[in-house]
Structure 1
Amino acid sequence: MDSLPIDEILPELKATLGSQVNAVLVAPPGSGKTTRIPLALLDEEWLKGQRIIVLEPRRLAARTAARYMAQLLGEQVGQTVGYRVRLDTCIGSKTRIEVITEGVLTRMLQADQGLNGIGLVIFDEFHERSIHADLGLALTLETQAILREDLRLLVMSATLAAEPVAGMLRNAPLIYGKGQVFPVATHYLERRGEEGVEASIVRTVFSALTNSSGDILVFLPGAGEIRRVQAGLAASGIARYAQVAPLYGALSIAAQDAAILPSPAGERKVVLSTSIAETSLTVEGIRTVIDSGLMRVPRYSPHTGLSSLETIRVSRSAADQRRGRAGRLGPGMCYRLWTKQEDHYLEPNTTPEVLSSDLTPLVLELAAWGVASPTQLSWLDLPPELAFLQARQLLGKLAALEAGGTITKHGRQMLQTGLHPRLAHMVLMSAELGLGGIACELAAILSERDFLRGSDSDLRLRLETIHNLDDAKVNPKRMVTQDSDKAVCWRIKQESDRLKQEFGNLASCSADIVYCGLLLAFAYPDRIGQQRGGGRFLLESGRGAIVVGKQLVANADYIVAANLDGQGTESRIFLAAPIEIEQIRTHFAQQIVNETTIAWDGAAQAVRARVYERLGSLILKVSPCLKPKPAAILGALLRGIVQEGLAILPWTRAARQLRERLLFIHHWQAGWPDVTDEALLSTLDTWLGPYAYGLTSQAELTQLNLAAILENMLTWEQRQELAEYAPTHLIVPSKQHVSIDYSKPDCPMLAVRLQEMFGLQETPCVARGKVRLTLKLLSPARRPVQVTQDLASFWRTTYFEVKKDLMGRYPKHFWPDNPLDATPTNRVRLK
């Protein structure tokens, strides 16, 4: 067995785990920690008769590590070393080292909280901070604290801020290992070009083939980019220089093995990989890395309640991991497709999944563990409260949790399926209706990438394609054309067949496809959508969504959206199916509420009493309320008056004048009612309510006698004093009754012809002589000629200037030299 850098720290690690139950190991990529450490610890005294569990973040890494360790022992996988990943297990009765994916550990803990028979759990590549790794460590730490004080935990990482992890592991010892990494020459772009990522990759691959030796590893964000680059390389004649091998999680095991195994002698290989090849997985023969600088990660938005895959810039640690792949065998070369200036702005680390992912599976796992709040466990990063609460709310809709957060029997059944809670609920509910087979097919389709992407979003087309895989007469419009898409179809078919068998040999037929929307609604009750016109839908959650273009589901009255982008005010729908309103009423009756609403209808200017049949934010039906409560009608009417303003009331001349008089007195005299807009609107129920009882509309409000209602706000004494304080009229010297204008409470006004005031020297007053009237003296044609509050001064001074003007305009009228001795009149008097 060749020596590796990790061998140097094995004695220290053995001694540490001999005396401590926890340890943290940090060692560079390529040091050998993944495969050497489990084998080195296998014969330790404290592990006698027990097994080692090694957690890997990806299935390919788990299978590869197990296979390599078995080779080192000269055995086949499944003997001393085995693996367990989703849909693939290779373990025998003598297996002592089990390499598993992180989700498998959670299943093991839920089945046996004590992890009996296991002496050591190794968390490899913990720096990737997957949500399963964080959850697995939190649960394992509690098992260690409560049930298994002897259980050893070893957290290993290539790039990790180790101190926080060591602190969480009760101040575990830190061990640092060395690696054998050769220098890697790093090349950056001088400037950003206009070409896209794929074209830049193709050009750089040919440059690297010319300027370097060995195989080339290209990092791309996803399978779509890999396929496009593969096509671009093929079109450029890459076959003359090297073989091209894609590498991503959805490929078959044979295809993945072809990518990671060494190239035959004399041949070169270009591996097009996602971030799967960053850590824990060694791709043999790599001397050059080409890094697009992009990665695709799931992002959950608590504001929309939706998850989506986002393409983001790699972090500093991820970029360094990728570059390090070129320095395993000797001096290497790394082409970074970004500029040096952009390099300075990379984030130090990738955001942990627990802070950015859908927490629904995690919350269900915690509930099964007996934990109602994540604060009851130890975490490096506590799951966000809002995302946690939204996940609990969804699980309540899926009947997985009680109101207090306790897991239900149905919730435990959902966990046992291994599916996402949404899909698990769908399959379980559908099986009760005899539709379990088609539900398994839907679950398999929704667990894979869309093989008809870019075509019609109707999920029924995907089901038809899967059903017709063995039929040579497939509709050509719905036939997948790319080999990669055909491979996805066959994987979906195999997975759906497995699920059908697991759930009790369920069957399906093409006729069941009509129930696609109903089955989707079991999984996505918050995404039942109601047509708003033009392919726009309102979802049960309250969010808007849209089907773009002329598609089959765009005109459906109701749909269920399985895949949306979660962007903007209206999410774009990528996968959906129609559902009938009666299916909603039948199968979601417990979530449907009948809500009686008695409210003011501004358009109708009336109170409307309606019964709304509501599913979340969706109004399924509106019908009149036949026996609304009179008190509720009155409340809605008064709220409508507040909404519309006091102008909606029947303000007759008498009512307006009385209100103005009251406003005037309130301004000058304490203890009188406040009849300002603000006061009246805030006390409608007191002064108006008794008179509006039984009325329902603006038209009926015209029946009200506002003047009498306002007068009833006064005490008996105030009614007697009203005329004294604020008389409606003043008898002027001409013996005429002239109305007083109280529209300005601080300045009551009397508009009167100047001639009618002859002989009066003092300015008239109101409010028992406290407030002088403002006199607006008018011409015979009732046009203002002077405004004054000092009539005596006007006669002495201003009158003579006014007289000259009036004599010229009104020569037939009498304009005396001494107005105080003249007889007042409201008629024409000749000289």
Structure 2
Amino acid sequence: MLPILEHQREILDHLTAGNRLVLTAPTGSGKTTQIPQILHRERNARVAVLQPRRLATRLVAQRVAQEMGTELGELVGYQTRHDSKISANTRIRFLTEGLFLRRLQSDPKLDEFDIVVLDEFHERSVNADVTLGLIRRLQETSRPDLLLVVMSATLDSERLAAYLQCPTVAAHGRLHPVDIRYRPASTEQPPWDRACDALYDLLNEGLDGDVLVFMPGAYEIRRTISAAQQRLARLAEPLDFRPLYGSLPAREQDAAVAAGPQRKIVVATNVAETSITIEGIRHVIDSGLARVHRHDPRRGIDALLMESISQASAEQRAGRAGRTAPGTCTRLWSSQEQQARPERDAPEIQRVDLADAALQLLSMGIETLDDFPWLDAPDTQANERATTLLTDLSALNEQGRLTDLGRQLARLPTHPRLARFLSEAARRHCLDRAVVWAALAGERDILLYPVHERYTHAPEGEPACDLVIRERALRRARDLDYAPDACARQGLNGHACRQADQTTRLYRDACRRAGLNTKGRGSTDDLLKCLLLAYFDRVALRRNPDTLLCAMAGQRRVELDRKSAARQATAFIALEIRELEAHRENNVRTTLSLANAIDVDWLEEIHPERITINSETTWNAEDRAVEQAEVHRYDDLVYRHRPTSDINASAAEQILVSRIVAGQLRLEKWNSDVEQWILRTRLLHRLFPERGLITYDDDEIQVVYHEIVTGAYRYSQIRHRDCLPYVQNVLSWQDQQFVEQMAPLHHGLASGVRMKIEYSADGPPRGRAKIQQLYDLRQTPSIAGGRQKLLLEILGPNFRPVQVTDDLASFWERTYPEVKKELKRRYPKHEWR
């Protein structure tokens, strides 16, 4: 007997006494399949069971219908975005969370259901959190009779029960035990190689049963299957490798979960983590990784990053091995690493774009996001970003209230940006094509990776637009009837193409119900202008046609996807901007994709409120000159720069000075003579404080620079300009004479030699002379009226220093006799006194 059945009476008693229940039960205990049957059977209830994924929605419905001996679509049915099997007889309905949330708009009291079951709530999707809050609110107002069951294997049940003010039921014990093994990585192997090693060892143990391998994404799944097929080719036992992820065609998903004649190796993403039972699985190999969507509300960037899973997710994955028989779970990390991992995953509400959820809540009468009864409130910055976006899309007014347009957008089953695109397309009479574009933008890409070369260049005479290319490719797939192999030969994903057309029909029907004019194909330019209205903050410019680097509003530096047809354009709208981990370079890069060329003149036509035009003095790096220009900006993105004849002299002077200070322009004659003058003056400032000489600090140096560049606007005019007079002329004529007298460049010796004096920032001034030139000098020479001795570097006949001193008398008395003895022997022809 399934463990959950032992708690049947307790569950029903709680739902008789109240209208909410939190249920925790280990993976494999039967909660997903049995609870809906119990509720229907014992209460004759109409049950809605919410699942986070389409795959689980369909497969669990099939399993429950089979167990109840009914045809799928009769007593038990399911609904996903593109697939539905229900009838007037359906009493247990499995739905995706997103679809259920949309149904709340048309049926705000949920009159067609008696009980709502939120399954696998530990995944904490945005839709699940929003649904939870809405049902709690509904129960407290117009539907106190509506029952709610929230369940998962790894819930924080106490906290959730406190939020719902309801009891909990905890079912214990798996149907079958699972042996947990840890296999930490000894090298920096990629996850697919480590999984292959573990799989090889597992198969050599001689254990029975199929194997489920968890990988973070489709890319890693393909690499794992390829590596395993090569590594295990010599084994006598035939193996059936099956991928499993959400975007696979249904028949391939069914093949992965069904029993087969050969031993099966299923390599899956976390879609296999919950709810579904894969026949024959006895062993799990877990990479411990998942690809996680994160949204940066400050930059408006979506990131898809590979991250370590939580302890709760690891427990869910391990449970896949104990559903049909005792099994094993090999974790490709250590037990210490397991303990260091977070206990649970962060709720999606705290890491993704909230614009869609915000629009739905506002359309259902929630005045502000802060008023909503969140289980975990989203970040304030994310709230503000969502509200700002909806305001920019005209869905909200300046007071944050929903506009008539906003109500219309909320009725369209897509992100507010695409909804705004469709609304504008109806106004411009091009909605017939716009629904196709929206489907291509909103669903997964129809092009297979790596993208075929034919899809990377726009045909002659057509705009450089990725959506136009995909629109044409979709027509080709229709002609092929979406046949997988035929489409693949054309570089197309037949299943994705079919799904895009299904979404097109979905959007067209939704637009019709929302009262939008669905007729008219319009021009490509019309469609691009509609995109510009909706993706106003995704405008990018390429400054250099030789690179893929682009500039975007917000002063972001991003890179255009190298396969984008927009490589032929200088200005475009990028519908996707993502941070992606490079597979080979262990780093993250920000890339633009689904890019579509636009005319920059459209910026002023579509968004005049974002345009500023100023006359500015700017630096032309190529000409190395200051120029006056009329600068057109879209937000802070310069899209037009028109040089004019009149140059603002003061601004030109400031630009040249700033570039000199930054080290970007070099004054060739700012030489040692200039530096020595500055050091001489600074020395005298210290020795004669009463004189009040300047020190040539940063501000005073900038005054000098300003004098040097006066009247110039090109680097060539100042590059070889003599700088010393400008530096000296900061001082009065009298102070200049004082510097020349008190800090001279030379000192006359009795021998007639003029000894050069070098000034230093970190020591006394220094003179250099041979011993013979100093014979008639008994005391150390000084400058500045005797206030500063010179540091003498006394040289031998070979011009090497024999002594450095500021006490010449002591040198003659103590050091010279020994020096003379040695040097006279080596250089007898020189004068020695």
In the superposition, the TM-score normalised over structure 1's length comes to 0.71
User: Residues 357, 792 of structure 1: CA spacing in aligned structure 2 closer, same or farther, 3 A cutoff?
Assistant: closer
Matched, 1:300 2:294: yes
User: What is the deviation of 1:666?
Assistant: 1.1
Asked whether the 8 Å contact 2:193–2:224 carries over to 1, the reply is no
Q: Which has the larger radius of gyration?
A: 1
Give the residue type in structure 2 aligned to 1:641.
Answer: I
Asked whether the 8 Å contact 2:619–2:625 carries over to 1, the reply is yes
Asked whether the 8 Å contact 1:414–1:425 carries over to 2, the reply is yes
Of residues 660, 666, 669, the one that matches 2:688 is: 669
Aligned position for 1:566: 580
Matched, 1:181 2:175: yes
CA distance in 1, matches of 2:802, 2:70: 119
Aligned position for 1:827: none
Aligned position for 1:544: 558
Matched, 1:464 2:476: no
Deviations 1:632-655 (A, max 9, x none): 334323322322399738669997
User: Residues 675, 406 of structure 1: CA spacing in aligned structure 2 closer, same or farther, 3 A cutoff?
Assistant: farther
User: Residues 291, 553 of structure 1: CA spacing in aligned structure 2 closer, same or farther, 3 A cutoff?
Assistant: farther
Aligned position for 1:825: none
User: Residues 485, 290 of structure 1: CA spacing in aligned structure 2 closer, same or farther, 3 A cutoff?
Assistant: farther
Of residues 759, 762, 778, the one that matches 1:743 is: 759
Asked whether the 8 Å contact 1:607–1:633 carries over to 2, the reply is yes
Aligned position for 1:640: 659
Asked whether the 8 Å contact 1:517–1:559 carries over to 2, the reply is no
Aligned position for 2:542: 530
Aligned position for 2:461: none
SS in structure 2 opposite 1:16? helix
User: Residues 278, 726 of structure 1: CA spacing in aligned structure 2 closer, same or farther, 3 A cutoff?
Assistant: closer
User: What is the number of residues matched between the two proteins?
Assistant: 783
Aligned position for 1:102: 97
Deviations 1:188-220 (A, max 9, x none): 99999999789979x99x989x9869xx68566
Asked whether the 8 Å contact 2:541–2:639 carries over to 1, the reply is no
User: Residues 646, 760 of structure 1: CA spacing in aligned structure 2 closer, same or farther, 3 A cutoff?
Assistant: farther
Asked whether the 8 Å contact 2:75–2:91 carries over to 1, the reply is yes
Of residues 488, 495, 514, the one that matches 2:496 is: 488
Range with bigger deviation, 460-469 or 405-414: 405-414
Percent identity between the two aligned chains: 26
User: What is the deviation of 1:569?
Assistant: 5.8
CA distance in 2, matches of 1:804, 1:268: 101
User: Residues 370, 688 of structure 1: CA spacing in aligned structure 2 closer, same or farther, 3 A cutoff?
Assistant: farther
SS in structure 2 opposite 1:424? helix
CA distance in 1, matches of 2:594, 2:194: 27
Structure 2 counterparts to residues 300-449 of structure 1, below 5 A: 300=294, 302=296, 305-308=301-304, 315-326=313-324, 332=325, 334=327, 338=330, 352-354=347-349, 357-362=352-357, 364-365=359-360, 370=366, 377-380=373-376, 383=378, 410-446=405-441, 447-449=443-445
SS in structure 2 opposite 1:648? coil
Asked whether the 8 Å contact 2:309–2:345 carries over to 1, the reply is no
CA distance in 2, matches of 1:535, 1:756: 65
CA distance in 1, matches of 2:667, 2:651: 20
Of residues 167, 175, 181, the one that matches 2:162 is: 167
User: Residues 693, 251 of structure 1: CA spacing in aligned structure 2 closer, same or farther, 3 A cutoff?
Assistant: closer
CA distance in 1, matches of 2:351, 2:640: 38
CA distance in 1, matches of 2:184, 2:809: 93
CA distance in 1, matches of 2:323, 2:11: 26
Matched, 1:681 2:675: no
Give the residue type in structure 1 aligned to 2:507.
Answer: L
Asked whether the 8 Å contact 1:546–1:570 carries over to 2, the reply is no
Asked whether the 8 Å contact 1:461–1:478 carries over to 2, the reply is no
CA distance in 2, matches of 1:146, 1:502: 29
Deviations 1:321-355 (A, max 9, x none): 311332xxxxx26476x578768856666665445
User: Residues 754, 499 of structure 1: CA spacing in aligned structure 2 closer, same or farther, 3 A cutoff?
Assistant: closer
User: Residues 14, 472 of structure 1: CA spacing in aligned structure 2 closer, same or farther, 3 A cutoff?
Assistant: closer
CA distance in 2, matches of 1:490, 1:259: 21
CA distance in 2, matches of 1:247, 1:777: 85
CA distance in 2, matches of 1:573, 1:708: 51
CA distance in 2, matches of 1:796, 1:75: 119
Matched, 1:453 2:449: yes
Give the residue type in structure 1 aligned to 2:787.
Answer: K
CA distance in 2, matches of 1:760, 1:187: 90
Give the residue type in structure 2 aligned to 1:159.
Answer: T
SS in structure 2 opposite 1:503? helix
Asked whether the 8 Å contact 2:611–2:632 carries over to 1, the reply is yes
User: What is the deviation of 1:471?
Assistant: 4.3
Asked whether the 8 Å contact 1:521–1:528 carries over to 2, the reply is no
Asked whether the 8 Å contact 2:52–2:120 carries over to 1, the reply is yes
Give the residue type in structure 1 aligned to 2:698.
Answer: L
In the superposition, the TM-score normalised over structure 2's length comes to 0.71
CA distance in 2, matches of 1:423, 1:730: 82
User: What is the deviation of 1:175?
Assistant: 1.0
CA distance in 1, matches of 2:104, 2:60: 22
User: Residues 227, 776 of structure 1: CA spacing in aligned structure 2 closer, same or farther, 3 A cutoff?
Assistant: closer
Asked whether the 8 Å contact 1:548–1:573 carries over to 2, the reply is no
Aligned position for 2:518: 506
Range with bigger deviation, 174-183 or 794-803: 794-803
Aligned position for 1:154: 149
Give the residue type in structure 2 aligned to 1:129.
Answer: R
CA distance in 1, matches of 2:758, 2:196: 82
User: Residues 293, 340 of structure 1: CA spacing in aligned structure 2 closer, same or farther, 3 A cutoff?
Assistant: closer
Give the residue type in structure 1 aligned to 2:558.
Answer: G
CA distance in 1, matches of 2:242, 2:663: 71
Structure 2 counterparts to residues 226-245 of structure 1, below 5 A: none
Aligned position for 1:329: none
CA distance in 1, matches of 2:177, 2:400: 54
Give the residue type in structure 2 aligned to 1:503.
Answer: C
CA distance in 1, matches of 2:673, 2:224: 83
SS in structure 2 opposite 1:417? coil
CA distance in 2, matches of 1:578, 1:248: 33
SS in structure 1 opposite 2:448? coil
Give the residue type in structure 2 aligned to 1:526.
Answer: R
User: What is the deviation of 1:480?
Assistant: 3.7
Aligned position for 2:584: none
Structure 2 counterparts to residues 77-96 of structure 1, below 5 A: 84-87=79-82
User: Residues 340, 545 of structure 1: CA spacing in aligned structure 2 closer, same or farther, 3 A cutoff?
Assistant: closer
Give the residue type in structure 2 aligned to 1:632.
Answer: A
SS in structure 1 opposite 2:550? strand
Deviations 1:237-264 (A, max 9, x none): xxx999999876556778877887899x
Provide the alpha-carbon RMSD of the alignment.
Answer: 6.3
Asked whether the 8 Å contact 1:763–1:792 carries over to 2, the reply is yes
Aligned position for 1:27: 25
CA distance in 1, matches of 2:238, 2:679: 97
User: Residues 778, 559 of structure 1: CA spacing in aligned structure 2 closer, same or farther, 3 A cutoff?
Assistant: same
Structure 2 counterparts to residues 705-720 of structure 1, below 5 A: 707=725, 710=728, 712-713=730-731
Aligned position for 1:13: 11
User: What is the deviation of 1:100?
Assistant: 3.1
Deviations 1:540-585 (A, max 9, x none): 2634335557x85544444555566723465577755544555566
